[in-house]
Structure 1
């Protein structure tokens, strides 16, 4: 008999320890989202000092290769209280974004410009972020995300040139540049429509004020 998955807890965040969903008497396999949540939990706990480096690396490897919820339980059950605090923070951040209300046309244009300015390398979003004072949180989030993406592309390009004698780095760099050709445009259009944007595979050395306070 089919048992539907348990609903997420209050606040809309996923449980860091997935419930044992069953179908036909068998435990259902983990989803990518389940593993991603577990990995993020371990990283948070390592940063908070709950795990030392050896424990973190061991648990991280087991979490990435886990196939069923029962395999994640011993990795996370002693760390859940820390994650519960994170759940509250995520819910609060979501509420704060909802309280911002409709995005003004000027805010949407400003945020969109931040992404399109990335076609002039990271200098574009960096200048906009440095000269944009008293802007809305919506604009600052987009400018910060655009800057982090362009920094990632710049660092990867330098690394690819340094390792130019190897084929694989050049191939990966080629794929990255292919994405760079259209991703800022996608992000710019998303911002223009009032949406949020998070680039994939992006290093984020620059933190938004809301993230620094988290």
Structure 2
């Protein structure tokens, strides 16, 4: 009685270098949407997208839920998209994120985003903690730039508050007293610099600040 060998699976073509399709079930993070938004901004500045296309794709990127939702937004720009960052598939403009690389620096040309971000930084003088928190919750889902700057302002104000409380408790020591002076100087100087940068549409990060709230 002859025994039939089980059918072997077809051999994979070693020359097949087609990119793997991202798992459509992977949920996106804010960082994923921000990276795609920066790719779209760069494509718009270089003339790959007109104003209507840019606005429509940016809106879809901010509302995307899973990785498959982002693929059509950048496929014709020569950029591959995967959870955890975007890569340049054919040398197209866009941020590359990976081990040892800096996160993309978000910028903007939108005057509303500029004024909103500047107000978040200057809120240290009139509505500390509350104003950047409101900007983060309300405007953050529509503008990655505004969310990033509101988060920076909120982290800076929280860090100064915690640092001032600890320094006051240990003010009888020399070093905490110097730290307290530095915190007060930073509170009055750095928000003005940050607001000026925001009005120019630049990405600002406060120096020497431990960020209690992180953008996951």
Using the size of structure 2 for normalisation, the TM-score is 0.50
Match of 2:99 in 1: 86
C-alpha deviation, 1:108, in angstroms? 0.6
CA contact (8 A) 2:113 2:143 kept: yes
Which is greater in Rg?
Answer: 2
* Structure with the largest fraction of helix: 1
- CA distance, structure 1, for counterparts of residue 153 and residue 146 of structure 2: 11
- Which one of 104, 110, 115 corresponds to residue 104 of structure 1? 110
Match of 1:160 in 2: 167
Structure 1: stretches of 5+ with no match in the other structure: 1-83
C-alpha deviation, 1:133, in angstroms? 4.7
- Which one of 110, 121, 126 corresponds to residue 115 of structure 1? 121
Q: Please tell me whether residue 130 in structure 1 is matched to residue 137 in structure 2.
A: yes
Q: Deviations over 1:23-72 (max 9, x none)?
A: xxxxxxxxxxxxxxxxxxxxxxxxxxxxxxxxxxxxxxxxxxxxxxxxxx
Once superposed, what is the RMSD of the aligned Cα atoms?
2.2
Q: Deviations over 1:110-165 (max 9, x none)?
A: 11111011223323312332333533111111000111111110000110121122
The 3-state SS of whatever aligns with 1:153 is helix
- CA distance, structure 1, for counterparts of residue 119 and residue 139 of structure 2: 12
- CA distance, structure 2, for counterparts of residue 123 and residue 154 of structure 1: 13
Match of 1:189 in 2: 196
- Which one of 149, 153, 157 corresponds to residue 146 of structure 1? 153
- CA distance, structure 2, for counterparts of residue 164 and residue 126 of structure 1: 30
Using the size of structure 1 for normalisation, the TM-score is 0.50
CA contact (8 A) 1:126 1:147 kept: yes
Q: Deviations over 1:56-92 (max 9, x none)?
A: xxxxxxxxxxxxxxxxxxxxxxxxxxxx9414x64xx
Equivalent pairs, count: 119
Structure 2: stretches of 5+ with no match in the other structure: 1-96
CA contact (8 A) 2:128 2:157 kept: yes
Instruction: Check 1:187–1:162 CA distance in 2 against 1; reply closer, same or farther (3 A cut).
Output: same
Runs of 4+ in 1 over 6 A off after TM superposition: none
The 3-state SS of whatever aligns with 1:134 is coil
C-alpha deviation, 1:167, in angstroms? 2.8
- CA distance, structure 1, for counterparts of residue 196 and residue 98 of structure 2: 34
